[in-house]
Structure 1
Amino acid sequence: MKKLLTLSFLIGTILLSLPAEAQWSEQNHAERFEQLGPMLRSPNVYRTASGAPGHMYWQQKADHEIEVELNDDNQSIKGWQKITYYNNSPDPLKYLWIQLDQNERAKDSNTPKIAESKINPRMNLRQIESILWHDQDLGYKIHSVKDMSGKDIPVTIVKTMMRVDLPQPLMPGQQTEFTVDWSFNIHDRMSFIGGRPGYEYFPKDGNYLYTMAEWFPRMAVYSDFEGWQHKQFVGRGEFALTFGDYKVKITVPADHMVGATGVLQNPQEVLNSTELQRWEQAKKTYDKPVIIRTQAEAERLEKQKSKDKKTWIFHAENVRDFAWTSSRKFIWDAMAVKQGGKDVMAMSYYAKEGNPLWEQYSTRVVAHTLKSYSARTFDYPYPVAISVEASNGMEYPMICFNYGRPDEDGTYSDAIKYGMISVIIHEVGHNYFPMIVNSDERQWSWMDEGLNTFLQYLAEQEWDRNYPSRRGPAHKIAPYMASERHLLEPIMTNSENIIQFGPNAYAKPATALNILRETIMGRELFDYAFKEYSERWMFKHPTPEDFFRTMEDASGIDLDWFWRGWFFGADPVDISLEEVKWYKMDNRTPAEKKADQKKEAEKEAYHISMDYNKKDIPQTVVEADPATRDFYNSYNPFSVTPEDEQAYKNFMASLSPKEKELLNSGLNFYEMRFRNVGGLVMPLIIQFNYKDGTSEVERIPAEIWRLNEWEVTKVFAKKKEVASIVLDPLRETADIDEANNYWPRQFVPSRFELFKGAGGVRGASAGDNPMKRARRNR
């Protein structure tokens, strides 16, 4: 007992009550740190427990030969295709499933039927039309499905899916060939129907710009983990597609410029001599884009409108889809980018309405995106990467459609500029996820949108030191996570069932990955593991399990608690610094201790009546009558006795040198109590601000919550006295209530912005802007 170094309570306690809305468990710990195993698919010969493809991994393949013609007079398209389907699975297949995505816009589509609608006090035409749907003749016309002998194959069309009933089962290792003849009317994607593909009409010059995507019947995915993915396409949940090789012939008006997935096979037939010369120059230019068709040349073609036709031929290998664009309005520029010992052509197609923004930025942004993403995943394997200005935002292999238009006078706001750069990075980045790392978008939007938004954030920060990224930093997701509970669902939710789609599928997973990289794992471990996942699943079909397992397998860090909280749960982060107690080692001499005890006793005994009684009671009974006094009237409990002195000497003599050093160290002990108000466990990041003006940060791993997920206590020994303490000082954890992160408590102001909504073409600048004002003031 004599060697016990006692701690005495020196400073008062600050105790703050728990918010009434806090949700408490009857158990100290429930499941937040249990392993994910039972929630994940079991490993097997196709997908290992490490997250890598198994030794018997397989996937299907579908090659396409397509001939298509665009009618610029009535905005329609007709095509013929031959599909060669390879059954690499161990299963015999009696039928095949094909996606008919154009049927999402057909008269009997489920899309308008399952969409909520209501009447507002003020309704515009677009809102009313969305209620009435439309009577346009849209959707596929499937004219025939035949085998290679010309015999009809029975098919069944189920909304946006078509079952092809094979004459005999397609056995493992076999392949089959068949043809499909089809047509459809292209819709105005600028109308209430919207959507990713379609056309945009420019009334000032009477021309069209076509973005042809989801334009041919596409093979559905048959996989080891799901069988056929034939969930209906109703507009949001994107695509699960099969890799294959494509040979595509596209016939368009002779003055149109065409950009497409793949490599142009007949440039001598479709480009004039000047364009060919510039094209060859672009292949050798690495520092800036070469303009192959200029704005002046495109403006001349806008007026001429040729009635002749040309056929553009493209080949693409190992792609999951094929898209293209066509217009006589297009300006075209390109430059070469070094990627893994080969040159990739970064290119842009845009109408004059996109300049000067597009000529200055688009292709440069494409090149930057390839460099940034490749450094963190794998060298870009395709020969081209194309950005098309289309008042849109959507991705396909090697080509994507983006927005960003200035005012007619060429000025634009910084929001338009950065919005355009961001969407180009994002859509070009989709070449990596999901075009190459080919996840199922129909089921798990976050596996492509979230991963891609995370890499987009990193590329944005590399583009400009103070780039105003909307998604990525932890604190930016806090408002979403603070939403009312009925507006939240886990990231692991089907695409069609998400209420706040952008925050859930894009921002939250991107933020989670950024937190993993910056706070949980560290950049080195995270980057290695993320690159390993990317390389393992290039040109394959990963699932969430493969991602979760690979990130742990390659880093050596157990992240099950993180996946549970961020991906399988909807709880927010709200960790409160509830209580701080300050202790010091009791190394006082007997005289110092008795003096302190006297001060404490006098303080405890004092009350206001004592001051008044000095005046109102001239003399007490004891003061007046000696007979009322005894031993205790003269006893001083705060005097130092010989016994006190001897006990102190004995105690000091019994201490070892280390104990004496500790006793006289002057250390300050701060006992801190934390409450998990939000429910999502996270590390404790604590900044101690000292009275001498210095500060330091302590980082406590999330596992401190493993035995009690609701409340933990931690003691910190500090040489200096603390003036204040801040929890999560750098806003790393997405804490939704920063007001309870301080000791002593501080007032944290909330701010709101006043804004005016804008309509019109997506990504188009409108109204006044600083550039416009500067021109006026010249």
Structure 2
Amino acid sequence: MGKNLLAGILIFVFVLGFSQKGAYYQQKAKYKIDVDIDVNNFTYEGQQDIEYTNNSPDELNVIYMHLYWNAFKSGSMMDQRVRSQAKNGDKRLQKGGISRLANIPPDQEGFQHIHWVTQNGKPVKFEIQETLMKVYLNETIPPGSSTVLSMEWDAHIPMQIRRSGRNNKEGIDLTMTQWYPKISEYDYDGWATFDYIGREFHAPFSDFDVHIKIDKNYIIGAGGQLENPSEVLGYTSSATINADQKNKVVWKWTAKNILDFAWAADRDYSVEEFSVLGGPKVYFVYQKSDKTKYWEEAKSYVTKFFQMMETQFGAYAWPNYTFIQGGDGGMEYGMCSIILGETDSLKNLCDTMFHEGAHSWYQQMLATNESVRPWMDEGFASYAQHYILNQLFPPLKPEPNPFINTLYDYRKFIRTGKEEPASWLGDHHDDGTAYTYASYIKGELFLVQLGYIMGEQNLSKVLKQYYEEWNMKHPTDRDFMHIAQKISGMDLKWFHNYWINTTKTIDYSIKSVKYNIASTTITLVNNGSLPMPIDFNILTKNREILTFHIPLNMMRTPKEKDIYGSINVMPYWNWTQKEYEITVPYTKSQIQAMGIDFSQRLADVNPEDNIIEVK
């Protein structure tokens, strides 16, 4: 064999190996779960088999699993975190500034006791690290192969402190979320072994076959397909009633390719259903009362929500979706959301439903790791929520854009000096409010600013392409930015770095205006630490809005059009340059007003000095 040929083969093998090692993959799990619920003692016994497929290029010798309910006890890491953040932590975990877990009685604690674990029928060693279980495999799992883990456990359902548990403040008996030993995600970054402190989750796409044995007087709402409605809903005599447990029935649920299986049960639930044309069948599972009277009226709005989400962001992937009363606010799960049901207005109810429903796109179908990048699920869901809420509940007084209130809130919070970077891990923010603003507010404004930078038409294309390329996968911000740069033709790395990794702020102003004989010269100044392109607008006396687009040099490509139509592209503004002079071919007599960003999308922290009314 010649040296050149050998060298060519070695190079080919190296490149092939590298590309396979770095290629995208995602793991797969199939659960078969059987549980028997003791509603009187708030306990249950469980057994499950998990067929786990390793689609990674790595040979696995351990598997990590989550045991979330072990967090709900005094002295847990969740309790420790709440105690250390008494003045600035999550208020839902506190009462009178004291951790609600600090003095929780033993009969209200939560736990999951694992009795045994086997791999392919043979016992394996496992180690419990509070909310994580490390399983040491007898047989490694080579790339492209599968194994079966089986386990048995018993659990105690905690008093509802955060999302999961019993007897919530609206009187829902059981809220069963993150209630089973749940396999962790393994990807290019390794195992997602995040302790449960109270915030976000991450998991592989999985199939579920779940049997829930429970007192026959209970109604269950869940994120899945009920396979035996005639048996459990009383239309015929139940074939699942055992002689020794004559008061129990078995609810049989299935779900395909979702991240988690959640359910809730109550003796006073009502179940209502309606279908979205071209979309999912929707179920409302809630307690009917004067406090939940708006649920009926919400049906037409939820129908429009799903239709508008498909048009703007992509099609819903599963056959049905369920809104279940039973949470401590709202939380998204596979094919369902669990929310508080009592509200004082239709808009407030729809606001919650829209946000949690939008998570079916941003965190469920586009399944980012929300423990690492909470701004990509909470922020993007908030963007969709407000985009649609603004159209279905238009404000009495016209507003410049659907996100103006988010911008107001952002500016107000910036003045507190408590902002923390959005890049921080979800559970590791030092201030609970700072987490909210980093994840929800800055995540939403990330998209608002991109729309301002590249134009709303391009942003719409980006969001649709993001869905097309990454739905039912685990994208990262790098994947999103790749699409944004490709569609816009711009370099956007600078913006991503400034907005997500820092707390630098935008602050531009008009320094001076000089009226000439046939034109007007304006001097702009950058008082902030985050450079941006500038849309300078002129409102003429005949009510025409003109846009003079000043691109930032780091963009490398200016935008071509935006919400006011065509634009006049000016020379680049270098990011190192503090001032910029622009001359427009309009005189003082022709101008009614002028300023930076009439659309009010720019997250300028001091917008008061951006507009001049010409008198």
Is the partner of 1:349 in helix, strand or coil? strand
* Structure-2 separation of matches of 1:696 and 1:202: 52
Is the partner of 1:273 in helix, strand or coil? coil
1:424 and 2:366 are equivalent in the alignment:
no
Q: How many equivalent pairs are there?
A: 561
Q: 1:25 — aligned with what?
A: none
* Structure-2 separation of matches of 1:350 and 1:147: 40
Q: Deviations over 1:287-334 (max 9, x none)?
A: xxxxxxxxxxxxxxxxxxx98111010111111110111111101100
* Aligned pairs (5 A) from 1:433-452: 433-452=362-381
- Of 253, 275, 279, which aligns to 2:215? 253
* Structure-2 separation of matches of 1:351 and 1:175: 43
* Structure-1 separation of matches of 2:236 and 2:49: 35
- Of 145, 148, 161, which aligns to 2:132? 161
* 246-255 or 180-189, which deviates more: 180-189
Amino acid at match of 2:390: Q
1:222 and 2:186 are equivalent in the alignment:
yes
- Of 721, 727, 732, which aligns to 2:601? 732
Query: Is the Cα contact below 8 Å between 2:378 and 2:439 reproduced in 1?
Result: yes
* Structure-1 separation of matches of 2:250 and 2:347: 36
Query: Is the Cα contact below 8 Å between 1:404 and 1:419 reproduced in 2?
Result: no
- Of 473, 479, 496, which aligns to 2:427? 496
Is the partner of 1:550 in helix, strand or coil? helix
* Aligned pairs (5 A) from 1:150-549: 151-189=122-160, 194-200=161-167, 208-224=172-188, 226-236=189-199, 238-273=200-235, 308-339=247-278, 344-353=280-289, 355-391=291-327, 392-406=329-343, 412=344, 416-466=345-395, 473-474=403-404, 476-481=406-411, 483-484=414-415, 486-498=417-429, 499=431, 500-517=434-451, 519-549=452-482
How far residue 379 of structure 1 moved from its aligned partner, in angstroms, is 1.8
* Structure-1 separation of matches of 2:462 and 2:263: 35
Amino acid at match of 1:380: Y
1:675 and 2:543 are equivalent in the alignment:
no
Query: Is the Cα contact below 8 Å between 1:471 and 1:507 reproduced in 2?
Result: no
Q: 1:81 — aligned with what?
A: 48
Q: 1:112 — aligned with what?
A: 79
Amino acid at match of 2:441: A
Is the partner of 1:511 in helix, strand or coil? helix
Query: Is the Cα contact below 8 Å between 1:197 and 1:214 reproduced in 2?
Result: yes
Change (3 A) 1:273 1:404: closer
Amino acid at match of 1:223: D
* Structure-2 separation of matches of 1:148 and 1:274: 39
Change (3 A) 1:471 1:396: farther
* Structure-1 separation of matches of 2:138 and 2:301: 50
Q: 2:66 — aligned with what?
A: 99
Query: Is the Cα contact below 8 Å between 2:79 and 2:99 reproduced in 1?
Result: no
Amino acid at match of 1:154: K
Normalising to structure 1: TM-score of the pair?
0.67
Between Structure 1 and Structure 2, the one with more strand by share is 2
Q: 1:698 — aligned with what?
A: 547
Change (3 A) 1:119 1:537: closer
Q: Deviations over 1:120-175 (max 9, x none)?
A: 9xxx96544637343424221112212343x4210011121111000121111221
Change (3 A) 1:475 1:701: farther
Change (3 A) 1:696 1:358: closer
* Structure-2 separation of matches of 1:493 and 1:472: 27
Q: Deviations over 1:72-108 (max 9, x none)?
A: 1112222111111111111111111111111121344
Change (3 A) 1:82 1:447: same
Query: Is the Cα contact below 8 Å between 1:437 and 1:538 reproduced in 2?
Result: yes
* Structure-2 separation of matches of 1:47 and 1:442: 28
Change (3 A) 1:484 1:707: closer
Change (3 A) 1:467 1:215: farther
Is the partner of 1:347 in helix, strand or coil? strand
Is the partner of 2:303 in helix, strand or coil? helix
**Greater relative contact order, per chain length (Cα 8 Å cut-off, separation 6+):** 1
Greater radius of gyration (CA):
1
* Aligned pairs (5 A) from 1:52-91: 56-91=23-58
How far residue 512 of structure 1 moved from its aligned partner, in angstroms, is 2.7
What percentage of aligned pairs have identical amino acids? 25
* Aligned pairs (5 A) from 1:621-640: none
* Structure-1 separation of matches of 2:574 and 2:21: 33
Is the partner of 1:572 in helix, strand or coil? coil
Is the partner of 1:259 in helix, strand or coil? strand
Q: 1:753 — aligned with what?
A: none
* 725-734 or 421-430, which deviates more: 725-734
* Long gaps (5+) in structure 1: 1-43, 277-305, 407-411, 585-666, 747-778
How far residue 250 of structure 1 moved from its aligned partner, in angstroms, is 0.7
How far residue 118 of structure 1 moved from its aligned partner, in angstroms, is 5.2
